[in-house]
Chain A
Amino acid sequence: MVVGAALAGVLIGPASLPPGKVLAALVDRLPFVSVDSGLSTREVAILFELRLPRVVLALLVGAILSVSGGAYQGVFRNPLADPYLLGVAAGAGLGATLAIVTAGSGSLLVGVAAFLGAVAAVALAYGLGAAAGGRRTGSTLILAGVAVAAFLTAAQTFVQQRNTDAIREVYSWILGRLGTAGWQEVLLLVPYAAVGITVVLLHRRLLDALAVGEEEARTLGVRPERVRIVVVLAATLATAGAVAVSGLIGFVGIIVPHTVRLLVGGSYRVILPLSVLGGGAFMVVADLIARSVLSPAEIPIGVVTAFIGGPFFLLVLRTSTRAGER
Chain B
Amino acid sequence: MSQLVLHGVGVSFGDRVAVTEVDATVAAGEWLALVGPNGSGKTSLLRAVAGTIPHRGMVQVDGVAVATMSPRRAAAAIAMVPQHRVLPEDMSVLDYTLLGRIPYAGYFGIEGPSDVAAARRALARLDAADLAGRRLGTLSGGERQRVVLARALAQEAGVLLLDEPTTSLDIGHAQQVLDLVDELRVERGIAVIAAIHDLTFAAQYAGRLLLLDAGTVIAQGAPAEVLSEAAIARFSGARVHLMQGPGGEPVVVPRR
Contact = CB atoms under 8 A, between A and B. Distances in A.
B88 A222 contact: no
A218 B80 CA distance: 10
B147 to A, nearest CB: 12
Interface stretch (B13-21, B95-103, B213-221, B226-234): B95-103
A209 B72 CA distance: 13
A214 B208 CA distance: 31
Contacts of B99: 208-209, 212, 220
8 contacts: A206-B108, A216-B80, A218-B51, A219-B52, A219-B78, A220-B75, A267-B91, A269-B110
A1 interface: no
Interface of B: 47, 50-52, 70-76, 78-80, 82, 85-92, 95-96, 98-100, 102-103, 105, 108-111, 135, 155
A216 B88 contact: no
Interface in A60-77: none
Given A219-B75, A220-B102, A265-B95, A205 B109 contact: yes
The majority secondary structure among interface residues of chain A is helix
B103 A220 contact: yes
A181 B45 CA distance: 60
A75 to B, nearest CB: 14
Contacts of A205: 98, 102, 105, 108-111
A49 interface: no
A211 interface: yes
Interface of A: 202-206, 208-209, 211-213, 215-216, 218-223, 261, 265-267, 269, 323
Contact of A267 (B85, B92, B108): B92
Contact of A213 (B85, B100, B103, B108): B85
A260 to B, nearest CB: 11
A218 B75 CA distance: 8
A213 B70 CA distance: 20
Nearest to B161: A219
